[in-house]
Structure 1
Amino acid sequence: MSNSSGDKYSLSDVEEDIEVFLKYESNALDAIKHAESEDVIEFLVDSEVDTRHDGERGLGTIRRAILESSLPSDELKRRVSFRGDETPEDILVPESVLKNAKVALEAGKPVVLYGPTGTGKTTFAKQLVREECVGYTLNTATPSWTPSDIIGGISPDYTGDSLSYRTKLGCVSDAVQRAREFDVDYGVILDEITRADISKIFGPLYTAIENPHQTIFETDDGDTIELDERVKIICTMNMSDRTVNELDNAITRRFAMIELDEYSDENREQLFRSWLDEHVGGQVRFATSELLNLFEQDYQGINHGRERTSQGSIMRFGPMHYRDIAVFVGVACRDGGEYEHDHHEAVGQAYQTYIVPRLLNAAAFPQIERIAEHYRTLNDEFEMFDLTPAAELAERELEQERRQMGSYE
């Protein structure tokens, strides 16, 4: 196979032989490495050469070659890096939250997004890195995390005939290496960090933030890792059972703490409508507007209390939970679904499965009483839905709590 400009591939070369590049990975890789201009790589990307050889998503050989090339713009590299990423494009968080997060990242400050469960912290974190970076990794914390999961450490290697040890990059040091390899801004999301011991796992990272030129890790090849300004660190933190004041002062001094809580009424309604249109549509006998009204009344009652009573909010509870209701109802009520002929029951079963358990998980005794009362009231107000399962689940939990309290008396 030949091309018109010696060892360089022109746009006409790749257009003429695109079927070859789609069929053979080695030829596609050669064309990327010896492309004459960005147009050549853009045509290959438009033809989805990377998807053909690397799959729908992930950093394979072809995508890595495109990211390592100096020809593509950051925007073209984003298209390749985020291929298959289904993160919603519309950013619906309050404008001040978006501005503050972007300013902090642009100023070189790591960010912590905190707030109650269901406020879309992880989604917003991904939206942020899609705007600010060319690629990112998402890492969810666990109770077993150690500093090596952040910075790197020694890991056993069981390949071969004997046990050996080698260094293994942590999620932050891996992001540093990718930022260097691709010469781009690269994001690392540390999700739900309250699952881990924050003071323990972030110790070396705190040192690196204070001393950015200090080596924090060295690979088996002798490469040193220092914190790079091109690496954007974003953490998410569920604050349903603790406050910012209870955190280690070390993290609040070194990270920008950005609260994600309330959405505007308009943006919350946009979220609800989009989920109902996508997942429920015309599959149910009742209008989706009725389900939208239920979502809003439920959300308001939990977060702000009911107008006819003097009681305030039950707890802080985000709107993202209602997507699961829309998905459940859409699947349950479709032709051949488990609730195809019992649409009115599907909603109550969805609430019993997704919403009430999450409320009860964070509720104290007085809150459990109010949760049960709340769903009894909603059941009376929305006659087209049977919310009895949701109310009964809360009442069973309430009765259990009463028995336990009685056993201690």
Structure 2
Amino acid sequence: MSDAYPEFRLRLPNGGPEALGRLLAEKGARGSRKFIVAAGSPVRAEVVQSFAVRKPPSHRTRQQLIAEGAIRESSRRPGWLETVRDIEFSSPSAAAEVLMGCSVNGWGVWKSADGQSLAAYLGQAADGPNRCWLVRGSNVTGLDLVQRLWLSDGCVTLAASRLRQGVQQGISKEDLRTLVQEDYESTATYSQRQQLVESVHAFLSRMKPGDTVCTISGGRLYAGQITGEAEQTESEGGRSNLRRPVEWQPTGYAYDELPEELQQKLSIQHDVVELTAVQAVIDGLGLTNEELAEEAEAIERDPSMEIPAITVRRELELPAPTDELAAELLVHETEWLREVRDLLWDDRQLVFYGPPGTGKTYLALQLAEFFGGGPEQVKLVQFHPSYAYEDFFEGFRPQEDPESREVAFRLTAGPLRELADLASREGNRHIPHFLIIDEINRANLAKVFGELYFLLEYRNKSVRLTYSGDDFALPPNLFVIGTMNTADRSIALVDAAMRRRFAFVELSPRTQPTSGLLRRWLTSQGRDSEPADLLEVLNSRIEDPDFRIGPSYLMKKGVYRDGGLERTWRTKILPLLEEHHYGEDVDIEKRYGITALRASLPGPLPEPSA
């Protein structure tokens, strides 16, 4: 074997023996470094079920080597195969895949004597997890390079036509920024130069062999593995003069059928986008849980750790309301709660609207805690006329430095950004999180939501944020429940755009579950039904349904102390009606006073005559 590089070792799974190999300086037809596996190296006897589909070239190579006798049963290691001669492979990954019978990153599993991975030894990157990238190639100056070049030639490219020759892989961002400034000063705007620096630096210095790369073409997502170093080459029109070799998977995946959180990342409009946050989703595309588990078992790994590609598939769900919940909330029937749950599931946003005192905020909080599994997943904010985007999502606010004691304006996250960040953390993505917006119609909604208004309707998209410049999407497990008070007429200001984005559920004294709520509560408390009778008579005298009185005014302990009912009626209910009839010649006490209402209640039936 060649002595150009030191010997590298591959430990086969489940405490298996070690294979030996060396990297060659020579490159294969598609640009990856060739690799030789030494004679006598062990080979796993079985292959995983998905091997032929995921890695057809390696599967064919393995079958051919077995057929020609280059790999055969081992006489030294019962239950294993072994190589009978030195075998040259097109890449370290191809060598590892043939030996292990599954899809594997050869740049990470081949180790030097001191435990360094092959990629780290070559200075490609420090040892650590691989990353995942999106590189766009379906519209490079009008050409679809994915179909025309990438899939057929086994590569991924980036256009940098004016960048001088000799730019080295691993260049620092500062050095690259200087070169781009000089080479593109008269042909690109400042923002275009900044974006080019980010894309080229990621392509040359952050990507490494073994990383996953994705692209989109013809409505399909294609994924592959980077198998070699970056090169700067001459190309037609400079459209693909930066290039890396890639082993692409043979099939693509329909974009419309991809998980929502992956679609969100893919919607970011840059030439190069890091997708590491959703790499587990990409790793699991096209495979069943059983196939993923089999692949994981074929690779040496900690058996106590969950398999990421299976973990991310844990279903997001809103638990079905129970009869016990309906009884606790005093809702007339469980089916009404199930309908609310279905509306939330379908639209992700819902508004409870109705007159004051109908329990909108209480019901929103209780349902959010039930669906989310506890108060830790629920955050409440209250809108008001001066509430702004900077308060709600993010903005610059004065903050004191704890060391210097100086006050400066710093970018600060608001409640929605905080909750979205919490909901999108690893391990939280299958848990529902709820933002309760009390009095949602009291603020200028277009001003408060800003570009987020778009995301309420298009949850599979992302937008560039105003202040931070981050690309942001609403997590699929983030739900919004708003409340609206119809008595102040501000609901009339809610525009059609918001009505399209939210489901609206009425809580009104004229309909269930609100109309019978007080009577059910009084029964559960063992109290007389007179307050419910009085409230029904009162509301029957109020012509405008938006000003009818909700039951929560009469569901407080103070109402049932001595004189409490009369006191509540005089100080809480009548002032609301005085405001409603302001400027009208209405005798509030005569029409709505508790004495007048009691007089209208039906009296006891007369005793039957003897």
Out of 276, 289, 299, the residue aligned to residue 535 of structure 2 is: 299
Q: CA deviation at 1:229?
A: 1.2
* Secondary structure of residue in 1 paired with 2:329: coil
Tell me which residue corresponds to 1:172: 416
The 5-angstrom pairing of residues 223-238 of structure 1 reads 225-238=472-485
Q: Normalization by structure 2: what TM-score?
A: 0.39
Q: CA deviation at 1:97?
A: 4.8
The 5-angstrom pairing of residues 105-254 of structure 1 reads 105-134=344-373, 135-159=377-401, 160-181=404-425, 182-183=428-429, 184-212=431-459, 213-215=461-463, 217=465, 225-242=472-489, 246-254=493-501
* Secondary structure of residue in 2 paired with 1:237: strand
Report the CA distance shift for 1:94/1:139 in structure 2 as closer, same or farther (over 3 A). farther
- Deviations along 1:121-177, one digit per CA (max 9) or x if unpaired, are 111111221232232111111222001222221211123332222222222222111
- Deviations along 1:195-219, one digit per CA (max 9) or x if unpaired, are 2223322333212224433245499
Q: CA deviation at 1:224?
A: 5.2
Letter in 1 for 2:446: S
Residues 151 and 169 in structure 1, CA contact (< 8 A), matched pair in contact too? yes
Q: Distance in 1 between matches of 2:490 and 2:539?
A: 17
Structure with the bigger percentage of helix: 1
Letter in 1 for 2:532: E
Tell me which residue corresponds to 2:343: 104
Tell me which residue corresponds to 1:358: 576
The 5-angstrom pairing of residues 345-384 of structure 1 reads 345-366=563-584, 368-370=586-588, 372-375=590-593, 376-378=595-597, 380=599
Tell me which residue corresponds to 2:512: 263
Q: Which runs of 5+ in 1 are unaligned?
A: 1-69, 79-86, 278-287, 334-342, 383-409
* Secondary structure of residue in 2 paired with 1:164: strand
Report the CA distance shift for 1:313/1:163 in structure 2 as closer, same or farther (over 3 A). closer
Q: Distance in 1 between matches of 2:414 and 2:575?
A: 34
Q: Which runs of 5+ in 2 are unaligned?
A: 1-310, 320-325, 602-610
Report the CA distance shift for 1:93/1:166 in structure 2 as closer, same or farther (over 3 A). farther
Letter in 1 for 2:393: I
* Secondary structure of residue in 2 paired with 1:113: strand
- Deviations along 1:35-78, one digit per CA (max 9) or x if unpaired, are xxxxxxxxxxxxxxxxxxxxxxxxxxxxxxxxxxx9xx99xxx9
Residues 150 and 205 in structure 1, CA contact (< 8 A), matched pair in contact too? no
Q: Distance in 2 between matches of 1:140 and 1:179?
A: 20
Q: CA deviation at 1:110?
A: 1.0
Report the CA distance shift for 1:367/1:299 in structure 2 as closer, same or farther (over 3 A). farther
Q: CA deviation at 1:120?
A: 0.8
Which range moved further: 255-264 or 134-143?
255-264
Residues 97 and 258 in structure 1, CA contact (< 8 A), matched pair in contact too? no
Letter in 2 for 1:359: L
Report the CA distance shift for 1:319/1:178 in structure 2 as closer, same or farther (over 3 A). same
Q: CA deviation at 1:349?
A: 2.0
Q: CA deviation at 1:118?
A: 1.1
* Secondary structure of residue in 2 paired with 1:107: helix
Letter in 2 for 1:143: P
Q: CA deviation at 1:227?
A: 0.8
Q: CA deviation at 1:96?
A: 6.2
Report the CA distance shift for 1:367/1:126 in structure 2 as closer, same or farther (over 3 A). farther
Residues 140 and 192 in structure 1, CA contact (< 8 A), matched pair in contact too? yes
Q: CA deviation at 1:267?
A: 3.9
Q: Distance in 2 between matches of 1:138 and 1:314?
A: 25
Letter in 2 for 1:352: R
Which range moved further: 255-264 or 366-375?
366-375
Q: CA deviation at 1:351?
A: 1.9
Residues 217 and 226 in structure 1, CA contact (< 8 A), matched pair in contact too? no
Tell me which residue corresponds to 1:67: none
Q: Distance in 1 between matches of 2:521 and 2:452?
A: 36
Residues 97 and 260 in structure 1, CA contact (< 8 A), matched pair in contact too? no
Specify which structure has the bigger relative contact order, considering alpha-carbon pairs within 8 angstroms and separated by 6 or more residues: 1
Q: Distance in 1 between matches of 2:390 and 2:335?
A: 35
Q: Distance in 2 between matches of 1:313 and 1:210?
A: 30
Letter in 2 for 1:166: R
Letter in 2 for 1:127: Q
Structure with max Cα Rg: 2
Letter in 1 for 2:385: P
* Secondary structure of residue in 1 paired with 2:587: helix
Give the aligned CA root-mean-square deviation in angstroms: 3.6
Q: Distance in 2 between matches of 1:234 and 1:314?
A: 20
Q: Distance in 1 between matches of 2:327 and 2:463?
A: 37
Q: CA deviation at 1:255?
A: 1.2
Q: Distance in 2 between matches of 1:269 and 1:155?
A: 49
Q: Normalization by structure 1: what TM-score?
A: 0.56
Q: Distance in 2 between matches of 1:148 and 1:312?
A: 37
Q: How many residue pairs align between the two structures?
A: 268
Q: Distance in 2 between matches of 1:223 and 1:352?
A: 54
Q: Distance in 2 between matches of 1:170 and 1:236?
A: 20
